[in-house]
Structure 1
Amino acid sequence: MSSERIIVGLVGEGILESLTPDMHMAEAVKLGLDYEYRVIDLLAHEYRGLSIEHVLEEARIEGFRALNVTHPFKQSVMSLLDNLSEDAQRIGAVNLIIFDEGLTRGENTDWTGFGSSLSEGLIDAQWDHVVQFGAGGAGAATAYALLKHGVQNLVIADLNIEKAAAVANHYRALFPRQNVISTPTTEANKMMNEADGIVQATPVGMNTHPGVPFDLDLVNGSAWVADVIYRPFETQLLCEARERGHRVLDGRRMAIGQAVDSLKLITGLEPNSDRMGRDFSDLVTGRRPLSKLQGFK
Structure 2
Amino acid sequence: MNTDPAAETTLVRTGSLRMGLIGRGIQLSRTPAMHEAEAAAQGLTCRYDLIDTDAGTTDELSDILAWAEDEDFAGLNVTYPYKQAVIPHLHHLSDAARRVGAVNTVVFRGGERFGHNTDFWGFGENLRTGLAGAPLDDVLLIGAGGAGGALAHALNDMAVGRIRIADTRDGAAAALAHDVGPRAEPVGDLAGAAASATGIVNATPVGMAKLPGTPIDTGLLEPRHWVADIIYFPLETELLRCARALGCRTLDGEGMAVLQAVRAFQLFTGRPAEQSRMRATFRLLGEEAAP
Identify whether the pair has TM-score above 0.5, normalized to the shorter chain: yes
Superposition deviation, residue 79 in structure 1: 0.8
Partner of residue 5 from structure 1, selected from 2, 10, 16? 16
Q: Secondary structure at the match of 1:24?
A: helix
Q: Which runs of 4+ in 1 moved over 6 A?
A: none
| Cα 1:57–1:115 shift into 2, 3 Å | same
The yes-or-no answer on 1:22 pairing with 2:33 is yes
Task: Deviation per CA, 1:31-82: give whole Å up to 9, x if none.
Answer: 111211111112223x2x4411001111111111111011111001101100
What residue in structure 2 maps to residue 51 of structure 1? 60
| Cα 1:287–1:211 shift into 2, 3 Å | closer
Residue 99 of structure 1 aligns with an amino acid whose one-letter code is: F
Q: Secondary structure at the match of 1:89?
A: helix
Superposition deviation, residue 219 in structure 1: 3.0
The yes-or-no answer on 1:41 pairing with 2:43 is no
Q: Secondary structure at the match of 2:54?
A: coil
| Cα 1:237–1:50 shift into 2, 3 Å | closer
Task: Deviation per CA, 1:76-123: give whole Å up to 9, x if none.
Answer: 110110000011011000000000100000000011110111111011
What residue in structure 2 maps to residue 259 of structure 1? 261
What residue in structure 2 maps to residue 197 of structure 1? 199
Residue 186 of structure 2 aligns with an amino acid whose one-letter code is: S
The yes-or-no answer on 1:129 pairing with 2:131 is no
Partner of residue 281 from structure 1, selected from 274, 279, 283? 283
Where in structure 2 are the equivalents of 1:285-296 lying within 5 Å?
Answer: 285-286=287-288
Q: How many residues are aligned here?
A: 278
Where in structure 2 are the equivalents of 1:1-150 lying within 5 Å?
Answer: 4-45=15-56, 47=57, 49-150=58-159
Q: Secondary structure at the match of 2:171?
A: helix
What residue in structure 2 maps to residue 181 of structure 1? 185
What residue in structure 1 maps to residue 4 of structure 2? none
| Cα 1:3–1:273 shift into 2, 3 Å | closer
Tell me how far apart the structure 2 counterparts of residues 189 and 75 of structure 1 sit (CA, whole Å): 29
Q: Secondary structure at the match of 2:113?
A: strand
Contact 2:187–2:193 (8 Å) recurs in 1: no
TM-score w.r.t. structure 2 length?
Answer: 0.92
Q: Secondary structure at the match of 1:253?
A: helix
What residue in structure 2 maps to residue 211 of structure 1? 213
Superposition deviation, residue 218 in structure 1: 2.0
TM-score w.r.t. structure 1 length?
Answer: 0.90
Tell me how far apart the structure 2 counterparts of residues 240 and 13 of structure 1 sit (CA, whole Å): 27
Superposition deviation, residue 190 in structure 1: 1.4
Compare 36-45 and 96-105 and name the one that shifted more: 36-45
Contact 2:23–2:51 (8 Å) recurs in 1: yes
Task: Supply the RMSD in Å over aligned alpha carbons.
Answer: 1.5
Q: Secondary structure at the match of 1:76?
A: coil
Residue 182 of structure 1 aligns with an amino acid whose one-letter code is: P
| Cα 1:7–1:237 shift into 2, 3 Å | same
Contact 2:222–2:246 (8 Å) recurs in 1: no
Tell me how far apart the structure 2 counterparts of residues 238 and 147 of structure 1 sit (CA, whole Å): 23
Superposition deviation, residue 287 in structure 1: 6.5
Residue 262 of structure 1 aligns with an amino acid whose one-letter code is: A
Residue 236 of structure 2 aligns with an amino acid whose one-letter code is: E
Contact 1:66–1:99 (8 Å) recurs in 2: yes
Q: Secondary structure at the match of 2:228?
A: strand
Compare 190-199 and 98-107 and name the one that shifted more: 190-199
Q: Secondary structure at the match of 1:243?
A: helix
What residue in structure 2 maps to residue 235 of structure 1? 237
| Cα 1:195–1:50 shift into 2, 3 Å | closer
Tell me how far apart the structure 2 counterparts of residues 5 and 171 of structure 1 sit (CA, whole Å): 40
Superposition deviation, residue 149 in structure 1: 1.3
Tell me how far apart the structure 2 counterparts of residues 152 and 287 of structure 1 sit (CA, whole Å): 39
| Cα 1:132–1:3 shift into 2, 3 Å | closer
